[in-house]
Amino acid sequence: MDMIVPLAKTGAISAATNLWLAVPIGFIFGFALFQAGFTDSRRIVWAFYFKDVRVPVVMFSAIVTGMLGLWGLSLVGALDISQVYMLPTYLLPMAVGGLLFGVGMVIGGYCPGTAIASIATGKIDALVFIGGFLVGSLVFGDFFPVWGDFYNSDYRGAFRLNQWLGIGLGPMILIVVIVAVVGTLSMILVQHLAWPTADYGATPNRFLKLQGSLVAIAILVGTIYAFFPTEAFIDDSVEPSYYIVPKASAQHELSEPAVALVTLAGARS
């Protein structure tokens, strides 16, 4: 099978068409956020109190669906994974950033993406949140020299969990599926134990059966993936071209100008 994805990178569609496709995809994504409850700050905050865990359950579902689809297309040869951008890992800075991000979600009830979708529904609190987000971004940029070295530290390249654990990518996919399923069931159980009187409407039996079927399919597909070696999904023998900063540079501390030069060179290549 000839690789056809990513469509723009393989030449299946033009760069202009690729940009225009972002418009309907954005509308669909925003509608999905609305249906999942991500445009309601109360539902997002309730997840941290285990009062309503539908938001993290949807996030688990999205992670598993995207993961199985991504590596499945790579496995059958329809997707050139070397052309797919993967976020580089700055481990310690990302851990600190994730903690601050979580605190911000608890306080504000949104993340930037859900806040934008909420503004489209007329939520004033989302507009205030975006205002604070923009001010915070300006402050972060103005004082970047203060924490710039930490921001660029502990660079690991596009580092995957299976590399961290020293196992194959296939077994790692199955582990993530199992963690998502167990995590979902655990959160639902805690919700019922912590808020036994809360009633958000019973889920119809047909949806429960559908959810059970989808979970079974995900576990089955993950189990099948577990028998494939990493090389079947991605070639780790060469350094992929999608790294913003060369992975080999992880052992050396890069100055801010060096990072900018490497990024500019990668964008031009």
**Tens of pLDDT, residues 110-147:** 988 899 999 989 999 999 999 998 999 999 999 999 99
Q: Which of 231, 181, 233 lies closest to 57, judged by CA?
A: 181
What pLDDT is stored for residue 245 in this prediction? 52
Residue range 164-205, pLDDT digits in tens: 899 999 999 999 999 999 999 999 999 989 888 766 555 667
State how far the Cα of 157 lies from the Cα of 88, in Å rounded to an integer. 5
What pLDDT is stored for residue 224 in this prediction? 96
Phi, psi for 38 (deg, rounded to 5): -75, -10
What pLDDT is stored for residue 265 in this prediction? 37
What pLDDT is stored for residue 240 in this prediction? 57
Give me the residues of the chain with pLDDT under 50, please: 244, 250-269
What pLDDT is stored for residue 80 in this prediction? 84
DSSP string, 97-148: HHHHHHHHHHHHS--HHHHHHHHTTT-HHHHHHHHHHHHHHHHHHHTHHHHH
